[in-house]
Structure 1
Amino acid sequence: MPSLRRRLEHSPAAAGALARLAGGYLWLCNRTIRWEVEGLEELKADLADGPVLLVMWHGRLLMAPYHWPLSDGQLTSLYARSPVGRVAGALHRQMGYTPMEMSDRSSNIAQSRAILKRVKEGASIGMTADGPTGPAFEVKDAPLEWARVMQRPVWCYSFETSGGRKLDSWDDMWLPKPFGSGRAVFRRWEAEVPRKVDAEALERLRSGMKGLLDSIY
Protein backbone atom coordinates (compact mmCIF):
# COMPACT_ATOMS: atom_id res chain seq x y z
CA MET A 1 0.00 0.00 0.00
CA PRO A 2 1.41 3.44 -0.88
CA SER A 3 1.99 5.69 2.11
CA LEU A 4 -0.41 8.54 2.88
CA ARG A 5 2.36 10.98 2.02
CA ARG A 6 2.84 9.48 -1.46
CA ARG A 7 -0.91 9.36 -2.06
CA LEU A 8 -1.28 13.04 -1.15
CA GLU A 9 1.71 14.04 -3.27
CA HIS A 10 0.52 12.19 -6.37
CA SER A 11 -3.27 11.92 -6.08
CA PRO A 12 -5.43 15.05 -6.48
CA ALA A 13 -8.43 12.96 -5.35
CA ALA A 14 -6.77 12.03 -2.05
CA ALA A 15 -5.68 15.62 -1.43
CA GLY A 16 -9.18 16.85 -2.30
CA ALA A 17 -10.87 14.41 0.08
CA LEU A 18 -8.63 15.40 2.97
CA ALA A 19 -9.11 19.08 2.07
CA ARG A 20 -12.89 18.65 2.40
CA LEU A 21 -12.45 17.14 5.86
CA ALA A 22 -10.00 19.82 6.95
CA GLY A 23 -12.14 22.52 5.38
CA GLY A 24 -15.22 21.40 7.28
CA TYR A 25 -13.35 21.57 10.58
CA LEU A 26 -11.78 24.96 9.85
CA TRP A 27 -15.14 26.31 8.65
CA LEU A 28 -16.61 25.31 12.01
CA CYS A 29 -13.74 27.06 13.79
CA ASN A 30 -14.22 30.19 11.74
CA ARG A 31 -17.97 30.30 12.37
CA THR A 32 -17.87 29.61 16.11
CA ILE A 33 -14.82 31.63 17.18
CA ARG A 34 -15.47 35.27 18.13
CA TRP A 35 -12.97 36.95 15.83
CA GLU A 36 -11.39 40.35 16.16
CA VAL A 37 -9.76 41.25 12.82
CA GLU A 38 -7.21 44.06 12.69
CA GLY A 39 -6.14 45.93 9.59
CA LEU A 40 -8.87 44.61 7.31
CA GLU A 41 -10.21 47.99 6.20
CA GLU A 42 -6.71 49.25 5.43
CA LEU A 43 -6.05 46.09 3.39
CA LYS A 44 -9.27 46.61 1.45
CA ALA A 45 -8.21 50.18 0.68
CA ASP A 46 -4.98 48.89 -0.88
CA LEU A 47 -6.88 46.20 -2.81
CA ALA A 48 -9.10 48.88 -4.31
CA ASP A 49 -5.94 50.20 -5.96
CA GLY A 50 -4.66 46.82 -7.18
CA PRO A 51 -3.15 43.51 -6.04
CA VAL A 52 -0.92 43.02 -3.01
CA LEU A 53 1.51 40.40 -1.73
CA LEU A 54 0.29 38.55 1.38
CA VAL A 55 2.96 36.86 3.52
CA MET A 56 2.69 34.74 6.68
CA TRP A 57 4.60 32.19 8.72
CA HIS A 58 3.86 28.63 7.63
CA GLY A 59 2.59 27.75 11.09
CA ARG A 60 -0.17 30.35 10.84
CA LEU A 61 -1.53 29.59 7.36
CA LEU A 62 -4.63 27.56 8.29
CA MET A 63 -7.09 30.41 8.82
CA ALA A 64 -5.75 32.84 6.20
CA PRO A 65 -8.24 31.88 3.44
CA TYR A 66 -11.14 32.46 5.85
CA HIS A 67 -9.98 35.98 6.71
CA TRP A 68 -8.90 37.18 3.28
CA PRO A 69 -11.56 39.55 1.83
CA LEU A 70 -12.24 37.55 -1.34
CA SER A 71 -15.03 39.87 -2.45
CA ASP A 72 -12.49 42.71 -2.58
CA GLY A 73 -9.81 40.89 -4.57
CA GLN A 74 -8.85 37.49 -5.93
CA LEU A 75 -5.92 35.66 -4.34
CA THR A 76 -3.48 33.29 -6.00
CA SER A 77 -1.96 31.14 -3.27
CA LEU A 78 1.41 29.50 -3.92
CA TYR A 79 1.99 26.00 -2.56
CA ALA A 80 4.59 23.24 -2.82
CA ARG A 81 4.22 19.56 -3.70
CA SER A 82 4.23 18.42 -0.09
CA PRO A 83 1.35 16.71 1.75
CA VAL A 84 0.40 19.92 3.56
CA GLY A 85 0.90 21.96 0.39
CA ARG A 86 -1.25 19.72 -1.79
CA VAL A 87 -4.07 19.65 0.77
CA ALA A 88 -3.86 23.43 1.25
CA GLY A 89 -3.98 23.93 -2.52
CA ALA A 90 -7.04 21.69 -2.83
CA LEU A 91 -8.77 23.48 0.05
CA HIS A 92 -8.10 26.92 -1.45
CA ARG A 93 -9.45 25.75 -4.80
CA GLN A 94 -12.64 24.49 -3.11
CA MET A 95 -13.03 27.91 -1.45
CA GLY A 96 -12.84 29.83 -4.72
CA TYR A 97 -9.18 30.83 -4.73
CA THR A 98 -6.68 30.10 -7.50
CA PRO A 99 -3.79 28.10 -6.00
CA MET A 100 -0.68 27.44 -8.07
CA GLU A 101 1.91 24.76 -7.36
CA MET A 102 5.55 25.80 -7.14
CA SER A 103 8.56 23.49 -7.03
CA ASP A 104 11.33 23.87 -4.46
CA ARG A 105 13.64 21.65 -6.52
CA SER A 106 13.43 22.92 -10.09
CA SER A 107 12.88 26.07 -12.12
CA ASN A 108 9.48 27.75 -11.86
CA ILE A 109 9.86 29.98 -14.92
CA ALA A 110 6.62 28.89 -16.61
CA GLN A 111 4.64 29.05 -13.37
CA SER A 112 6.10 32.44 -12.50
CA ARG A 113 5.00 33.81 -15.85
CA ALA A 114 1.49 32.48 -15.28
CA ILE A 115 1.40 34.05 -11.83
CA LEU A 116 2.59 37.40 -13.14
CA LYS A 117 -0.18 37.25 -15.73
CA ARG A 118 -2.64 36.77 -12.86
CA VAL A 119 -1.13 39.77 -11.06
CA LYS A 120 -1.56 41.93 -14.17
CA GLU A 121 -5.19 40.81 -14.22
CA GLY A 122 -5.58 42.07 -10.64
CA ALA A 123 -5.03 38.96 -8.49
CA SER A 124 -2.98 39.21 -5.31
CA ILE A 125 -0.39 36.60 -4.28
CA GLY A 126 -0.44 34.74 -0.96
CA MET A 127 2.55 32.75 0.29
CA THR A 128 4.45 31.61 3.37
CA ALA A 129 7.71 33.32 4.23
CA ASP A 130 9.44 30.23 5.63
CA GLY A 131 7.78 27.42 3.66
CA PRO A 132 7.51 24.81 2.47
CA THR A 133 10.25 23.12 4.53
CA GLY A 134 11.77 25.80 6.74
CA PRO A 135 13.80 26.62 8.68
CA ALA A 136 10.83 27.92 10.65
CA PHE A 137 10.55 31.66 11.21
CA GLU A 138 13.28 32.50 8.71
CA VAL A 139 12.32 34.59 5.67
CA LYS A 140 13.37 32.89 2.45
CA ASP A 141 14.24 34.63 -0.80
CA ALA A 142 10.88 33.96 -2.51
CA PRO A 143 8.70 36.58 -0.75
CA LEU A 144 11.38 39.24 -1.18
CA GLU A 145 11.73 38.36 -4.86
CA TRP A 146 7.98 38.56 -5.42
CA ALA A 147 7.87 41.90 -3.61
CA ARG A 148 10.67 43.14 -5.89
CA VAL A 149 8.92 41.94 -9.05
CA MET A 150 5.38 43.01 -8.15
CA GLN A 151 6.22 46.51 -6.87
CA ARG A 152 2.97 46.44 -4.90
CA PRO A 153 2.17 46.74 -1.17
CA VAL A 154 3.22 43.83 1.03
CA TRP A 155 0.90 42.70 3.83
CA CYS A 156 1.70 40.30 6.66
CA TYR A 157 -0.89 38.06 8.31
CA SER A 158 -1.20 36.00 11.47
CA PHE A 159 -3.86 34.71 13.86
CA GLU A 160 -4.21 33.40 17.39
CA THR A 161 -7.05 31.69 19.26
CA SER A 162 -7.88 31.11 22.90
CA GLY A 163 -8.23 27.38 22.28
CA GLY A 164 -6.18 25.02 20.17
CA ARG A 165 -2.86 23.25 20.16
CA LYS A 166 0.56 23.46 18.59
CA LEU A 167 1.20 20.50 16.30
CA ASP A 168 4.42 18.51 16.47
CA SER A 169 5.66 19.82 13.12
CA TRP A 170 8.70 21.71 11.86
CA ASP A 171 6.69 24.95 11.68
CA ASP A 172 4.92 24.74 15.08
CA MET A 173 1.62 24.88 13.21
CA TRP A 174 -1.27 26.11 15.33
CA LEU A 175 -4.53 24.13 15.06
CA PRO A 176 -7.44 26.17 16.46
CA LYS A 177 -10.38 24.73 18.40
CA PRO A 178 -13.99 25.73 17.75
CA PHE A 179 -15.61 28.34 19.99
CA GLY A 180 -13.67 30.72 22.21
CA SER A 181 -12.12 33.92 20.92
CA GLY A 182 -9.61 34.72 18.24
CA ARG A 183 -7.56 37.54 16.78
CA ALA A 184 -6.50 37.88 13.16
CA VAL A 185 -4.04 40.55 12.08
CA PHE A 186 -3.31 42.09 8.69
CA ARG A 187 -0.45 44.57 8.85
CA ARG A 188 1.24 46.42 6.02
CA TRP A 189 5.01 46.15 5.73
CA GLU A 190 6.15 49.73 5.36
CA ALA A 191 9.25 49.02 3.30
CA GLU A 192 10.07 49.53 -0.36
CA VAL A 193 11.80 46.76 -2.26
CA PRO A 194 13.56 48.34 -5.25
CA ARG A 195 13.78 46.54 -8.57
CA LYS A 196 17.54 46.38 -8.14
CA VAL A 197 18.76 45.40 -4.68
CA ASP A 198 22.24 44.37 -3.52
CA ALA A 199 23.01 41.62 -1.03
CA GLU A 200 23.38 43.96 1.94
CA ALA A 201 20.06 45.69 1.29
CA LEU A 202 18.39 42.31 0.75
CA GLU A 203 19.44 41.16 4.21
CA ARG A 204 18.09 44.36 5.76
CA LEU A 205 14.78 43.76 4.01
CA ARG A 206 14.76 40.13 5.14
CA SER A 207 15.32 41.22 8.74
CA GLY A 208 12.57 43.83 8.48
CA MET A 209 10.00 41.38 7.13
CA LYS A 210 10.89 38.85 9.81
CA GLY A 211 10.55 41.53 12.49
CA LEU A 212 7.03 42.40 11.38
CA LEU A 213 5.94 38.76 11.07
CA ASP A 214 7.34 38.02 14.54
CA SER A 215 5.59 41.06 16.02
CA ILE A 216 2.14 39.82 14.98
CA TYR A 217 2.80 36.10 15.57
Structure 2
Amino acid sequence: MAGSYLALCNRTTRWQVEGLDDLRAALAQGPVLLVMWHGRSVMAALHWPVADGPLTSLYDSSPIGRVSGALQRRVGLRSIQMSRQTTNLAASRIVLKRVREGISIGMTADGPLGPAYQVKDAPLEWARITGVPVFCYAFATTRGLRLNTWDRMLVPRLFGHGAMVFARFEGTVPRKPDDATRSNLREQMRRFMDATTARADRLISR
Protein backbone atom coordinates (compact mmCIF):
# COMPACT_ATOMS: atom_id res chain seq x y z
CA MET A 1 0.00 0.00 0.00
CA ALA A 2 2.80 2.41 0.88
CA GLY A 3 4.57 1.59 -2.38
CA SER A 4 1.42 2.18 -4.42
CA TYR A 5 0.86 5.51 -2.69
CA LEU A 6 4.43 6.69 -3.31
CA ALA A 7 4.27 5.58 -6.94
CA LEU A 8 1.04 7.58 -7.36
CA CYS A 9 2.69 10.62 -5.74
CA ASN A 10 5.59 10.25 -8.14
CA ARG A 11 3.25 10.18 -11.15
CA THR A 12 1.14 13.14 -10.03
CA THR A 13 4.05 15.39 -9.02
CA ARG A 14 5.54 17.76 -11.61
CA TRP A 15 9.25 17.08 -11.22
CA GLN A 16 12.22 19.26 -12.02
CA VAL A 17 15.38 17.21 -12.46
CA GLU A 18 19.03 18.20 -12.10
CA GLY A 19 22.11 16.07 -12.56
CA LEU A 20 20.48 13.00 -14.08
CA ASP A 21 22.49 13.28 -17.31
CA ASP A 22 25.73 13.42 -15.27
CA LEU A 23 24.65 10.31 -13.35
CA ARG A 24 23.81 8.47 -16.57
CA ALA A 25 27.17 9.39 -18.06
CA ALA A 26 28.92 7.97 -15.00
CA LEU A 27 26.80 4.80 -15.12
CA ALA A 28 27.86 4.27 -18.72
CA GLN A 29 31.39 3.83 -17.33
CA GLY A 30 30.45 1.56 -14.43
CA PRO A 31 28.69 1.46 -11.04
CA VAL A 32 28.49 4.36 -8.58
CA LEU A 33 27.81 4.87 -4.88
CA LEU A 34 24.59 6.85 -4.29
CA VAL A 35 24.30 8.52 -0.87
CA MET A 36 21.42 10.48 0.62
CA TRP A 37 20.06 11.69 3.94
CA HIS A 38 17.65 9.23 5.54
CA GLY A 39 15.02 11.94 5.81
CA ARG A 40 15.04 12.48 2.03
CA SER A 41 15.36 8.85 0.95
CA VAL A 42 11.77 7.68 0.51
CA MET A 43 11.58 8.53 -3.24
CA ALA A 44 15.08 7.43 -4.21
CA ALA A 45 14.04 4.02 -5.55
CA LEU A 46 11.47 5.64 -7.83
CA HIS A 47 13.95 8.22 -9.10
CA TRP A 48 16.86 5.89 -9.82
CA PRO A 49 17.32 5.38 -13.62
CA VAL A 50 16.89 1.60 -13.61
CA ALA A 51 17.36 1.34 -17.38
CA ASP A 52 20.87 2.80 -17.05
CA GLY A 53 22.15 0.33 -14.47
CA PRO A 54 21.13 -1.92 -11.57
CA LEU A 55 21.21 -0.69 -7.97
CA THR A 56 21.57 -2.57 -4.70
CA SER A 57 20.41 -0.86 -1.53
CA LEU A 58 20.91 -2.20 1.98
CA TYR A 59 17.93 -1.55 4.24
CA ASP A 60 17.25 -1.93 7.95
CA SER A 61 14.73 -4.26 9.57
CA SER A 62 12.69 -1.34 10.99
CA PRO A 63 9.12 -0.81 9.66
CA ILE A 64 10.23 2.10 7.45
CA GLY A 65 13.24 0.08 6.32
CA ARG A 66 11.03 -2.86 5.29
CA VAL A 67 8.70 -0.54 3.35
CA SER A 68 11.75 0.91 1.62
CA GLY A 69 13.04 -2.56 0.76
CA ALA A 70 9.67 -3.65 -0.65
CA LEU A 71 9.44 -0.51 -2.78
CA GLN A 72 12.96 -1.05 -4.09
CA ARG A 73 12.12 -4.60 -5.17
CA ARG A 74 8.88 -3.43 -6.77
CA VAL A 75 10.70 -1.04 -9.12
CA GLY A 76 13.36 -3.59 -10.04
CA LEU A 77 16.17 -2.77 -7.62
CA ARG A 78 18.19 -5.44 -5.78
CA SER A 79 17.64 -4.63 -2.14
CA ILE A 80 19.20 -6.54 0.77
CA GLN A 81 17.87 -6.53 4.32
CA MET A 82 20.65 -6.15 6.87
CA SER A 83 20.37 -7.42 10.44
CA ARG A 84 21.37 -5.00 13.17
CA GLN A 85 23.88 -7.65 14.18
CA THR A 86 25.57 -7.51 10.77
CA THR A 87 29.15 -6.29 11.15
CA ASN A 88 30.63 -3.49 9.08
CA LEU A 89 33.07 -6.00 7.61
CA ALA A 90 30.27 -8.30 6.46
CA ALA A 91 28.36 -5.40 4.92
CA SER A 92 31.50 -4.18 3.16
CA ARG A 93 32.06 -7.63 1.65
CA ILE A 94 28.51 -7.65 0.27
CA VAL A 95 28.99 -4.17 -1.19
CA LEU A 96 32.32 -5.00 -2.80
CA LYS A 97 30.91 -8.19 -4.34
CA ARG A 98 27.98 -6.29 -5.86
CA VAL A 99 30.21 -3.53 -7.25
CA ARG A 100 32.47 -6.14 -8.87
CA GLU A 101 29.34 -7.49 -10.55
CA GLY A 102 28.72 -4.01 -12.00
CA ILE A 103 25.91 -3.07 -9.60
CA SER A 104 25.68 0.40 -8.05
CA ILE A 105 25.14 0.82 -4.30
CA GLY A 106 22.60 3.09 -2.62
CA MET A 107 22.76 4.04 1.05
CA THR A 108 21.76 6.64 3.62
CA ALA A 109 24.74 8.48 5.03
CA ASP A 110 23.14 8.97 8.47
CA GLY A 111 20.95 5.89 8.71
CA PRO A 112 19.39 3.71 9.79
CA LEU A 113 19.36 5.18 13.32
CA GLY A 114 21.03 8.57 13.09
CA PRO A 115 21.96 11.02 14.44
CA ALA A 116 20.23 12.84 11.61
CA TYR A 117 22.35 14.72 9.07
CA GLN A 118 25.64 13.40 10.37
CA VAL A 119 27.76 11.35 7.96
CA LYS A 120 28.79 8.00 9.36
CA ASP A 121 31.92 6.08 8.40
CA ALA A 122 30.18 3.65 6.02
CA PRO A 123 29.91 5.98 2.97
CA LEU A 124 33.60 6.86 3.17
CA GLU A 125 34.59 3.24 3.78
CA TRP A 126 32.56 1.97 0.85
CA ALA A 127 33.89 4.74 -1.40
CA ARG A 128 37.40 3.75 -0.31
CA ILE A 129 37.10 0.02 -0.91
CA THR A 130 35.19 0.29 -4.21
CA GLY A 131 36.87 3.33 -5.77
CA VAL A 132 33.65 4.19 -7.65
CA PRO A 133 32.26 7.73 -8.17
CA VAL A 134 30.04 9.05 -5.37
CA PHE A 135 26.75 10.82 -6.16
CA CYS A 136 24.46 12.56 -3.70
CA TYR A 137 20.67 12.50 -4.13
CA ALA A 138 17.92 14.64 -2.64
CA PHE A 139 14.30 15.42 -3.40
CA ALA A 140 11.92 18.17 -2.32
CA THR A 141 8.22 18.79 -2.81
CA THR A 142 5.75 21.62 -2.29
CA ARG A 143 3.25 19.14 -0.87
CA GLY A 144 4.87 17.00 1.76
CA LEU A 145 4.37 15.55 5.21
CA ARG A 146 7.05 15.27 7.89
CA LEU A 147 6.82 12.03 9.85
CA ASN A 148 7.33 11.96 13.61
CA THR A 149 10.58 10.00 13.30
CA TRP A 150 14.17 10.64 14.37
CA ASP A 151 14.99 12.05 10.92
CA ARG A 152 11.69 13.92 10.33
CA MET A 153 11.33 11.93 7.11
CA LEU A 154 9.76 13.84 4.22
CA VAL A 155 6.90 11.99 2.48
CA PRO A 156 5.26 13.59 -0.58
CA ARG A 157 1.57 14.20 -1.08
CA LEU A 158 -0.32 14.05 -4.34
CA PHE A 159 -0.27 16.75 -7.04
CA GLY A 160 2.70 18.77 -5.86
CA HIS A 161 5.62 20.41 -7.58
CA GLY A 162 8.84 18.58 -6.86
CA ALA A 163 12.56 18.55 -7.55
CA MET A 164 15.11 15.75 -7.60
CA VAL A 165 18.82 16.46 -7.67
CA PHE A 166 21.79 14.18 -8.36
CA ALA A 167 25.22 15.74 -7.75
CA ARG A 168 28.67 14.21 -7.97
CA PHE A 169 30.84 14.44 -4.87
CA GLU A 170 34.37 15.34 -5.91
CA GLY A 171 36.11 14.48 -2.65
CA THR A 172 38.75 11.74 -2.92
CA VAL A 173 39.01 9.03 -0.28
CA PRO A 174 42.61 7.74 -0.05
CA ARG A 175 43.31 4.05 0.36
CA LYS A 176 44.59 4.50 3.92
CA PRO A 177 43.13 7.71 5.39
CA ASP A 178 44.28 8.76 8.85
CA ASP A 179 41.80 9.94 11.48
CA ALA A 180 42.20 13.62 10.57
CA THR A 181 41.65 12.93 6.86
CA ARG A 182 38.59 10.79 7.58
CA SER A 183 37.09 13.47 9.82
CA ASN A 184 37.71 16.14 7.18
CA LEU A 185 36.10 14.00 4.47
CA ARG A 186 33.04 13.36 6.64
CA GLU A 187 32.62 17.11 7.04
CA GLN A 188 33.12 17.70 3.29
CA MET A 189 30.48 15.12 2.46
CA ARG A 190 28.08 16.51 5.05
CA ARG A 191 28.36 20.01 3.61
CA PHE A 192 27.96 18.71 0.05
CA MET A 193 24.88 16.66 0.95
CA ASP A 194 23.36 19.64 2.76
CA ALA A 195 24.06 21.77 -0.34
CA THR A 196 22.43 19.16 -2.60
CA THR A 197 19.35 19.10 -0.37
CA ALA A 198 19.23 22.90 -0.28
CA ARG A 199 19.44 22.96 -4.07
CA ALA A 200 16.35 20.72 -4.32
CA ASP A 201 14.53 23.00 -1.86
CA ARG A 202 15.45 26.09 -3.91
CA LEU A 203 14.15 24.57 -7.13
CA ILE A 204 10.64 24.21 -5.75
CA SER A 205 10.63 27.75 -4.35
CA ARG A 206 10.95 29.41 -7.74
**Contact persistence 2:55–2:104 (CA under 8 A):** yes
Which structure has the bigger radius of gyration? 1
Alpha-carbon displacement from aligned partner over 1:64-121 (angstroms, at most 9, x marks no partner):
1111111001000011121211221122112211111223434254453333222111
2:32 maps to a residue whose letter is V
Instruction: Please name the residue that 1:11 is paired with.
Output: none
For 2:14, which of 9, 14, 34 is the aligned residue?
Answer: 34
What is the root-mean-square deviation in Å for CA atoms of aligned residues? 1.2
For 1:90, which of 66, 70, 83 is the aligned residue?
Answer: 70
Aligned length: 197
Which deviates more from structure 2 when the two are superposed, residues 86-95 or residues 185-194? 86-95
Taking the aligned partners of 1:106 and 1:28, their CA distance within structure 2 comes to 34
1:99 aligns with 2:43: no
Instruction: Please name the residue that 2:168 is paired with.
Output: 188
1:140 aligns with 2:140: no
Taking the aligned partners of 1:138 and 1:36, their CA distance within structure 2 comes to 27
Segments of structure 2 that go 5 or more residues without pairing to the other structure are 198-206
TM-score (norm 1): 0.87
Taking the aligned partners of 1:110 and 1:145, their CA distance within structure 2 comes to 13
CA offset at residue 131 of structure 1? 0.3
Q: Which runs of 4+ in 1 moved over 6 A?
A: none
The alignment-based identity, stated in percent, is 58
CA offset at residue 189 of structure 1? 0.4
**Contact persistence 1:158–1:186 (CA under 8 A):** yes
1:57 aligns with 2:8: no
Secondary structure of the residue that 1:113 maps to in structure 2?
A: helix
1:152-163 paired onto structure 2 within 5 Å: 152-163=132-143
Segments of structure 1 that go 5 or more residues without pairing to the other structure are 1-20
CA offset at residue 214 of structure 1? 0.7
**Contact persistence 1:102–1:108 (CA under 8 A):** no
Alpha-carbon displacement from aligned partner over 1:171-203 (angstroms, at most 9, x marks no partner):
010011111210000000011111110000001
Secondary structure of the residue that 1:126 maps to in structure 2?
A: strand
Secondary structure of the residue that 1:133 maps to in structure 2?
A: coil
Secondary structure of the residue that 1:143 maps to in structure 2?
A: helix
1:190-209 paired onto structure 2 within 5 Å: 190-209=170-189
